[in-house]
Structures are given as C-alpha cells and as structure tokens.
Chain A
C-alpha cells in the first residue's frame, strides 16, 4: 500500500464557522435541501459540525466537532452491504460505488458516526446552481448512498501531477476541499504511511484521539484536543 490517507482535525482551532461544510457542498456537487426537507432529516452534508454544550446558561461553553466519514480501517459499513457497493480501497479509503448501490441503507444503519447519506430523490439544484457543478465529481442518482470521499478526485489529481513531474507525491500536495477552506487551518490531510508527514506527526502527538475509538473501528480521522 503506497499511501494511507488520513486526516487530523484540531478541535482547539475549530471555530465552528462551517466553511468546510460550504466548501464540501460546492466541491462535491452535494444536493441542496430546503428548510422543510432539512427539518425532515433529508439534508446532505458530507461534513457537519456537531455542537456540544458545556455548563448551564448563561455560563455556557460550546465545543465544535466537525464530523465526516472516518474512513475506518475496520469499517462497519463495509461487510453489511449485500452488493459490495462500499469497500476499502488499496489506499485505505472507504469508497462508495454509487453505480453499484441498490439502496438497502444497511450501511447507514451500521455507521456509528451517522455520516452516510441517502439520496431520497433525484438531486435537483435551483437555477443557476446546476451550472457550477464540479466536472471532476459525478452527480449521484436518486436511491443511492453517498458520503465523504476524502476528495478522492483531488487525490487522483495530486498523484497524476506528481507522476507527470516524475516525483513522489509530497506532503501537502493533496488537500480536500474542507481542509483548504478552513480559515483556522484546523484540518490537516496527508499520508499516514509517511512518518514525516504533518498528519502522521499530529496523529502521533499526545493530543490525538479518535471518535468512538472503543468500538474498534480504527478510524483514520484524528481529533486533536489538549488533555484535560
């Protein structure tokens, strides 16, 4: 395995601005929802910012936690799919094959992070937003599951560019849209196989924890937080 992609999110830096959410929407051609369908639980956000409140009003502290597909090594969504629409690829990505998905939604039930989204209808965009689709990312049909891809198209492009220039992929060559958009630079992306990459060093730091780690899913997203 040449690469093993991973992410580190610094919760002490995150301001909860949701720029990552907006960037992901634009980058990945996510369907938009209106207030009614969002209230119904039909909104699609491959990355979302969960809010946790500490203390009693008015002495309240809010903590933000961006949650996206954790690209688990032991992904619970993978074995339950009856048609292999989701599997672990050779670079450690948990990938979703939209063309193969028949829509049992079993993977969505079995994801402890609730980061899998279903296309309840054919996706629609209010004009003229359909003109700003990213040509690198396929639009998913109705009836299939979708989720964060770690911007796999950007990974491909990074590898292609490096190959054209006859060099290995350097740390920082590949950045998913959320990491690029984060004004606080809270999100770091890179190769966990490279011990010198920034993400590897952050993952090895004492501040790193993983979400619901005790389930044994071995996520590749690391949350950084000062020890308490």
Chain B
C-alpha cells in the first residue's frame, strides 16, 4: 500500500485546520445537533412507552421472539469493528497512511458499542432487572448461568467497551495536553484534567507507545472474540440454520465489512463538513475501498459456503428456512442484500475507473443497508419457521421498534457531533509522528 509522506502539512497549519472545528458552532452544526437530539428524544419516549405498557407494544411475537432489537444489536456491534480493524491492524503493521484515519475509526467503535450494548436491555421483558445477568455477590447466593451465551455476551461486550474506551483515550492524551495549554476557560480545565499531567517527557512517550501497542494487540483479540460470541448466541441454539459452525468467523467478517463501510461514510462526511480535504485524501478512500472490496469478497465466500451447504444437504427443517429466505416472503430482502453487499461494492470499487470518493461513499451506504438486512435475514426467517410447522408465524415491526431503531442512528450522529466539537478527530501528534514508519 502507498504511504503518505509524514507531515506533508506544517504543524502550525495542521493545528489551525484541526482545531478550527472545536471553536464556535455554525448554524448547520446547531441544526444537525437539534435534529439528532429530537430523534433521540423521540426514541427514548418510545422506549419509555414500551417499558410502561409492556414489551407487547413492539411487533415481536411468538414464534419470532427476537426482532428488530436483536438485529440492531448485532448490526451495531458489527459497526464497532471499524475502529479495531483500521486502527489496531494498521497500527501494528506500521501502515503510515492510517494516521489521519485512526481516531475517526476508534470513536465509531466506542459509540457503536454504547448503542449496540443498549439493545439487549431494550429487548428485555423486565429491563429493570437487567443487573441479574451480572455476577455480583448477593445474600441469596444466586449467580448468573455461566453456561448461557447471553452471559458470555455481556462479559465480551463489557470487556470490549472498556478496552476500546482505553484504546480511544490513550492516543488522545498528547493532543489533550497540547489543547489544554493553548485554550482557556472550561476547555482548558477539562483537557487539563483529562491529559493526566502529560508533559511529553521521553519516559511518558515510551510508556504511551508501549501501552498503545499492547492495547492494539489486546483489542484485536477481544474484537474477534466479541463478534464470535455474538454469533454464538445463535450458533449455540438448536434452531434450524442457526446451528452452524462457521457463524463465528462469518459474523466477524461481516462485522469488519460493515465497520469499514461505516468508517468510509463518516470520513466522507467529516471531510466535507470539517473541510479536511487535505488530510483525508483520495488515497485514504482508495486504500479503504480496496479493503472494502476484499471484505465484500470474503463475505460473499462465507455466504455462498453457508447457503450452498444448507441447500445441498437438503435437510427438511433447514430447507424450510432456506426457502423462506431465498424464494419465499424474505426473498426481496435477500436479493437486495446480495446486490448491496456484493454487486455494488464489487462493481463500483472493483473497477479501477469507477473508484472515487463518491463511489466509495455510495458503496459504504449500500453495504450498511446490506449488512443490516443480513442480520435481519439471519434472525427473523429462522424464528418464523420453527421445527413444528403448526407454530410457524411472521413478524413486522411497530412504530415503537422503528422509532427506537431510527433513534440509534440519530444517537450515533449526535455522539459524533459532540465528540467532534470537543476533540480533534484527527490525532495531531500522530499525524506528525515519524518514528514508527
């Protein structure tokens, strides 16, 4: 891969460019924050309504007891893989071009996890008792059931969230110290507090780099295991087509795939909105586009492997689900998914002549839609087609599920808008750092 010449832009210039978004608030910014906050508030109202009335106000029913909420859960946990892949792999392999991209990606990870981790709670019948899943000492001597994949899930996601917050925070420290020196008022106090007394001594730099390298390694392992555990929520069950050995890696590949798409989309928006054209260059989109095509091919390979074996095996229970998916009521979603996840990125980004920032953005949106549909197609048709045909059913969401789902996309936007106002979304020191290639 091509490497950007380190620090092509003088440090003073870049500080001006990257700190500019922190100052003031333009009218479009305020409008965007207001709209996103409104959508989030509406989602919270819907959630409150659901808690008050009972979860029956959502569309889930027997036999489809898991619906939009679990689809969103898997989808958002998948998006969170943006940060880990881009930043950890690229950092560990010393890919120099990563520098303007890492923090954008790490922030996606943290926010997507915060949103994704909320869905199992939204989904609970008695959310006010969610802490019963946590192993805490209590006078009744009751523990959670460590055999349950849901307990593994909780553990994995909590570990991942903790790790990725640390991983986002570590590279922020030098920037925070610089910001605290150069700003005034509450910002100086906030940054001063957060930079943990960073002075930039040799010892501190060495410690920081060691910590970042260590965290990059850890977070990579955790990321792979998290999405594997999410896949095991399904694969450990007896339900037809869920009980599949490749679900772990299949979900990890899908997660990285959708994570890169999310990263491309956020980069494209930030580039325009924050006028970062000279930092997020066509080369970055080019490299990420290639990665997206690679992941698209991998995803396609897994999808073929999964479906071909089901079809060829011709086991009646599995074939009912397969039929519903490929030519039954869910077929339109299935073929749109194939179009979005394979045809669009493969044609738009695989053909060199068509590859551009615009087509990368279009492909990213397509992949996000396609991967959401993939999660839906894994969860709903299987549940709607249980083993005893007499119990077959269907599912359609209500306004509650749709409101909450939209609210999470708004929440992502809102969190990102706030983050971009508080912290530079490109690591200034890393951008100018030459030592690690």
Q: Can you give 23 contacting A-B residue pairs, CB < 8 Å?
A: A41-B63, A79-B145, A79-B147, A80-B147, A82-B132, A82-B148, A82-B150, A83-B145, A84-B142, A100-B132, A102-B125, A106-B149, A106-B150, A110-B238, A110-B239, A112-B238, A112-B387, A114-B62, A114-B388, A121-B54, A141-B126, A143-B54, A211-B388
B143 to chain A, nearest CB (A): 8
User: B129: which A residues are within 8 A, CB to CB?
Assistant: 102
| Chain A binding surface SS class | loop
Instruction: Give bound CA distance, A105 to B53, whole Å.
Output: 18
Contact A103 B150 (CB under 8 A): no
A51 proximal to B (CB < 8 A): yes
B390 proximal to A (CB < 8 A): yes
Instruction: Give bound CA distance, A105 to B66, whole Å.
Output: 8
Binding site for B on A (CB under 8 A): 37, 40-42, 48, 50-52, 67, 76, 79-84, 100-106, 108-110, 112-114, 117-122, 141-145, 211-212, 215
Contact A108 B65 (CB under 8 A): yes
Contact B391 A114 (CB under 8 A): yes
Given A41-B61, A80-B149, 9 other A-B contacts at CB below 8 A?
A42-B61, A79-B147, A82-B132, A102-B129, A103-B125, A104-B124, A106-B233, A118-B125, A120-B56
Contact A109 B239 (CB under 8 A): yes
User: B54: which A residues are within 8 A, CB to CB?
Assistant: 119-122, 142-143
B211 to chain A, nearest CB (A): 33
Residue of B nearest to A49 (CB): B390
B399 to chain A, nearest CB (A): 15
User: B388: which A residues are within 8 A, CB to CB?
Assistant: 50, 67, 112-114, 211-212
B58 to chain A, nearest CB (A): 8
B236 proximal to A (CB < 8 A): yes
User: A79: which B residues are within 8 A, CB to CB?
Assistant: 145, 147-148
B370 proximal to A (CB < 8 A): no
User: B130: which A residues are within 8 A, CB to CB?
Assistant: 102
User: A212: which B residues are within 8 A, CB to CB?
Assistant: 387-388
Binding site for A on B (CB under 8 A): 53-56, 60-66, 120, 123-126, 129-130, 132-133, 142-145, 147-151, 154, 233, 236-239, 383, 386-388, 390-391, 393-394
Contact B148 A80 (CB under 8 A): yes
Instruction: Give bound CA distance, A86 to B154, whole Å.
Output: 19
| Chain B binding surface SS class | loop
User: A42: which B residues are within 8 A, CB to CB?
Assistant: 56, 61-62
User: B237: which A residues are within 8 A, CB to CB?
Assistant: 76, 80, 106, 109-110
**Contact pick for B133, options A51, A80, A83, CB 8 Å:** A83
Contact B148 A215 (CB under 8 A): no
Contact A106 B148 (CB under 8 A): yes
B243 to chain A, nearest CB (A): 10
Given A76-B237, A114-B386, A144-B125, A81:B65 Cβ within 8 A = no
User: A109: which B residues are within 8 A, CB to CB?
Assistant: 65-66, 237, 239, 383
User: A100: which B residues are within 8 A, CB to CB?
Assistant: 132, 142
User: B63: which A residues are within 8 A, CB to CB?
Assistant: 41, 108, 114
Residue of A50, A83, A118 with highest tally of chain B CB at under 10 A: A83
User: A41: which B residues are within 8 A, CB to CB?
Assistant: 61-64, 393-394
B250 to chain A, nearest CB (A): 19
Instruction: Give bound CA distance, A80 to B232, whole Å.
Output: 11
Instruction: Give bound CA distance, A41 to B237, whole Å.
Output: 22
User: A52: which B residues are within 8 A, CB to CB?
Assistant: 390
Closest 4 CB pairs of A and B: A103-B125, A120-B56, A143-B125, A114-B391
Instruction: Give bound CA distance, A82 to B126, whole Å.
Output: 14
Residue of B nearest to A143 (CB): B125
Given A81-B145, A120-B55, A142:B125 Cβ within 8 A = yes
Instruction: Give bound CA distance, A112 to B63, whole Å.
Output: 11
Instruction: Give bound CA distance, A76 to B64, whole Å.
Output: 17
User: A120: which B residues are within 8 A, CB to CB?
Assistant: 54-56, 61
User: A117: which B residues are within 8 A, CB to CB?
Assistant: 62
Residue of B nearest to A108 (CB): B65
A147 to chain B, nearest CB (A): 11
Contact A102 B53 (CB under 8 A): no
Residue of A nearest to B150 (CB): A82
User: A143: which B residues are within 8 A, CB to CB?
Assistant: 54-55, 124-126
Contact A82 B56 (CB under 8 A): no
Instruction: Give bound CA distance, A134 to B299, whole Å.
Output: 55
User: B387: which A residues are within 8 A, CB to CB?
Assistant: 112-114, 212
Given A40-B61, A104-B150, A108-B62, A121:B132 Cβ within 8 A = no
Given A121-B53, A121-B56, A82:B151 Cβ within 8 A = yes
Contact A118 B65 (CB under 8 A): yes
Residue of A nearest to B152 (CB): A82
User: A215: which B residues are within 8 A, CB to CB?
Assistant: 238
B417 to chain A, nearest CB (A): 33
Given A79-B147, A83-B145, A144:B390 Cβ within 8 A = no
Contact A103 B126 (CB under 8 A): yes
User: A114: which B residues are within 8 A, CB to CB?
Assistant: 62-63, 386-388, 391
B84 to chain A, nearest CB (A): 26
User: B391: which A residues are within 8 A, CB to CB?
Assistant: 50, 114
Residue of B126, B144, B233 with highest tally of chain A CB at under 10 A: B126
Given A76-B238, A143-B55, A81:B125 Cβ within 8 A = no
A74 to chain B, nearest CB (A): 10
Contact A81 B238 (CB under 8 A): no
Contact A119 B145 (CB under 8 A): no
